[in-house]
Structure 1
Amino acid sequence: MCGITGWLHYDRNGKDNVNQIETMMNTLQYRGPDDKRIYTDQHISFGHTRLIVIDPAGGQQPMQKEYDGNRYVLVYNGELYNTEHLRLQLKKCGHIFRSHSDTEVVLTAYIEWGSRCVEKMNGIFAFAVWAENDQTLYLARDRLGVKPLFYTETTEGFIFGSEIKALLAHKSVSPIVKEEGLLELFSLGPSRTPGCGIYEGIHEVKPAHTMKITRMGIKTTHYWNVKSQSHLDSLEDTTNQVKSLLYHASQRQLISDKPVSSFLSGGLDSSALTAIAAEECKEKLHTFSIDYEENDKYFKTNDFQPDTDKKYIDKMRDTFNTEHHYETITIDELIHMLQESVLARDLPGMADIDSSLLWFCRKIKQQAVVALSGECADEIFGGYPWFYKKELMEKKGFPWINSLQQRHSLLNEKWKNRLNIDEYAYMRYLNTIKDTPLSGNETKQEKSHKEMAYLNMNWFMQTLLERKDRMSMRASLEVRVPFADHELVQYVWNIPSEWKRLEGKEKGILRKALEGVLPSEVLYRKKNPYPKTHHPDYTNKMTEKLSEVIDKKDAPLYELIDPKQLKQLVQSKGASFPYPWYGQLMSGPQLLAYFWQVNYWLEAYNVKIS
């Protein structure tokens, strides 16, 4: 994976922008620590930082190619999983390749097929192509939004980058947050409306969208969406097809010039990928898990997390003979990483849910460059409670946000009067529901299920993909997500909801497909959320840490939050906020950590609230 950035100005020579594009590029150094290069020419400047996984010599960027009298230049972040198939097609069209990198295939695909090239690609990507003769800039993002791409338009031209920080490094872009940005944070956060960058004027290319920028303006195209149609396969055929698609997706994503490892929590999703990788890899598979110091002593069972991961991890390790690495994070390390996880996102995120993952990815990177991860399985197969609990299915709003009134009550009087949190969240919910792709033949139950699945694909899944990208790339670790394969997603979209909950189990059809692959203890294990610490030291230290913030009369947090509410939150050690902030996550001391992050973000980025 890589970091990309660029600047287009039709009234300026790009060769005069060397210092500016280098500054923007350098903010993304950790996304690509192995190499960095720039390209400047008339009107355009590109910057690229590279994490080398395939073809060290042949995949250098920005990549240039001349064809039919036109020069094309590419910056690309991602991984193409049908590289050889496309290369063969392009060779038949008369194209000659000088490397075996997927980068050259992406660029040549654009040369041959233009803006429709993305329809032929299977992969995770965000890229930009400059066509010199046409004076056209083309941007594209993968179907499920695994790889990020932000942009802004200013009086100084069109600016884009893999992360917001690259845009903020441009002299014409300021860290201003207005009412809409605050509504995003307090109504929806840590989710964001697709396309919204929180900061004023900063946007994100939506998943499955392309943009073409010319002197005449900008044209945006939505090139892919799930398609609803009748599911005609039998249960047996459906089970076999799910297994086949998952295997093929995983096999494609195991292609690398560097060894591939796997996250392993002992849950269904990571275990499925581990089993496939262990079977396919020639060398012994390295697997990794995270836990918290003294978790065996302080762990508390609940309905969502009845037990810890270790015995299931041990079973997977023994069954598939993996080289397993148990990583244990201390409380001090967990707290220390809160600051850097904000820098990774350029926004407040998910508190220690982020900081622990960032630490974990750093540990993995010490021994691996590429890792498989199980994100997206719950969203496409229906693994969350809101897919099957009647009261959550029928809720008119995002089922993972149950704290809107409480969120609103935390605001100071100025923003309490100006921000209509409930209405904003409800309208975002309605706008998504009405866009759900339906065939018109769905039963009431199937319509409701597809609406819930579409909500999850566009919101909850995007939040988790963003988290995984920012934390892993901050650690210079490439993470691949086979469950986000668009062919698998499309097929599963039309599977009847009762099969997705086959035999009364969440993700029932996936479990059925993995019979004979996984040990029964793992196959039928109840879904567990991402682990958190129950250590009292964490609660006490976060209480102290946020206390130090609110003791300062000029704390930036007071620009937004009511002092009395903050004091009550600290005195109760987070218990005064009765619901998790997001889904089943971010309650108690995690909420203290979140507000510490909000304060740090306002301070570190010198955010101007307007």
Structure 2
Amino acid sequence: MAAVLDSEGAGGLDGCEGMWSFAAFDEAEEAVLLSRDRFGEKPLHLYRDTEGLYFASEIKTLVALIGRRLEPDTDHLLRYMTNSYKSLYKEPHSFFKGVEELPPATTLRINADGSEQLGRYWTPELVQQEDMTVEEAVTGVRDRLLRGVEIRLRADVPIAFCMSGGIDSVSLVSIAKRIFGYDVHGYTILNTDRRYEELEMVEHAVSELGIRHDFLPLTTDGFISGLRTLTQYHDAPVYTLSYYAHWRLMEAIAADGYRISVSGT
């Protein structure tokens, strides 16, 4: 990333792939460049007051920089309590007054004189190719999916795989195992609710692919204390209960020594 910025500037970000939020200081021009990945997967919070602009990837870091507690945005909190996750990202609100997020796929340059320049390095475009055949469409999707998995297998440490019975995670596991020969270790939440239970499909995929695999039973033990801990991590309410279940899965993966996991979500 540093090499791209040095050689191409912010315009080179369109050629980068992955998740990021960063601040880069240009010593020659005494300017700071903030940036966030295409889909806003990594957070970057902003706060302005009479002293200047503060930025951080976590609210608790903003609080430490500012030196005082932030005031909750009760209006946004009430919207969330009424409409749950459907109230999120409709407008540039956060759960704290004055805090906003740098929009996805954008850069914010803060110059030495304090002026700011907001730019966008990528905008999704819908381009219809009426003459594309079904075979071409299938090949195009397959090639891109294979390349996406190949890139994400480049790691200095072992990678774990989150695995449900759905087509997304099973596709990723299958590609990693069958195409690239990766020693896949899959992890699945074992749900006792038959409306969401996918045990049969998971066991079939594990048997067919011959991978290492562990189930994590989902229980209500420690739910309230766990929910409180997760809220503290996020500095915000837990958006959906699936976040809680996924966090428990991450705990099990981390306990086995993994620091990176691949997920279909």
Q: TM-score, normalised by structure 1?
A: 0.41
Q: 1:279 is matched by which residue type in structure 2? A: R
> Which residue identity lines up with residue 121 of structure 1 in the other structure?
C
Secondary structure of 1:271's aligned partner: helix
Where in structure 2 are the equivalents of 1:51-450 lying within 5 Å? 106-178=1-73, 180-182=75-77, 184-186=79-81, 189-190=84-85, 191-193=88-90, 195-214=92-111, 215-232=113-130, 233-292=132-191, 295=192, 299-301=193-195, 305=196, 308-350=197-239, 352-367=241-256, 368-375=258-265
* Shift in Å, 1:187: 5.7
Asked if the contact 1:194–1:206 (Cα under 8 Å) also holds between the matched residues in 2, the reply is no
**CA offsets, 1:417-463, max 9 Å, x none?**
xxxxxxxxxxxxxxxxxxxxxxxxxxxxxxxxxxxxxxxxxxxxxxx
Indicate conservation of the 8 Å contact 1:254/1:260, yes or no.
Answer: yes
Which structure carries more helix by proportion?
A: 1
Distance change in 2, residues 1:172/1:155 (3 Å): farther
- SS of alignment partner, residue 279 of structure 1: helix
The AA in structure 2 aligned to 1:265 is S
User: In structure 2, how many angstroms separate the alpha carbons of the residues matched to 1:243 and 1:226?
Assistant: 20
Tell me, in whole angstroms, the C-alpha distance in 2 between the residues paired with 1:119 and 1:289: 34
Give the whole-Å Cα distance in 1 for the aligned partners of 2:150 and 2:208.
Answer: 20
User: Aligned AA for 2:72?
Assistant: V
Larger of the two Rg values belongs to structure: 1
Q: Secondary structure at the match of 1:326?
A: strand
CA contact under 8 A between 1:136 and 1:212: conserved in structure 2? yes
Amino acid in the other structure paired with 2:116? I
The Cα offsets for residues 342-391 of structure 1, whole Å up to 9 and x where unpaired, read as 1121111236433222221010112222111111xxxxxxxxxxxxxxxx
Q: Is contact 2:187–2:216 with CA below 8 Å preserved after alignment?
A: yes
- Residue 194 (structure 1) shift: 6.0
RMSD, aligned CA: 2.0
Q: Is the 8 A contact 1:140 1:209 kept in 2?
A: yes
Unaligned runs of 5+ in 2: none
Quick one: structure 1 residues 178 and 324, their matched pair in 2 at CA, closer, same or farther if it must change by over 3 Å? closer
Separation (CA, whole Å) in 1 of partners of 2:133 and 2:68: 55
TM-score normalised according to structure 2 size: 0.90
Q: 2:223, 2:72 → 1: CA distance?
A: 28
- Cα distance change, pair 180–136 in 1 and its aligned pair in 2 (3 A): farther
Q: 1:256 to 1:168 in 2, by over 3 A?
A: same
Aligned 8 A contact 2:108 2:116 in 1:
yes
Shift of the 187–352 alpha-carbon distance from structure 1 to 2, 3 Å rule, reads: closer
Q: Is contact 2:54-2:66 (8 Å) kept?
A: no
SS of the residue 2:215 aligns to: strand
Q: Is the 8 A contact 2:45 2:59 kept in 1?
A: yes
- Provide the C-alpha distance between the structure 2 equivalents of 1:112 and 1:283, rounded to a whole number of angstroms: 34
Return the alpha-carbon distance in structure 2 between the equivalents of residues 228 and 260 of structure 1. 33
The percent identity for this pair of structures is: 23
Equivalent residue pairs, number: 260
Note the residue ranges of structure 1 that are not aligned, 5 or more in a row: 1-105, 376-610
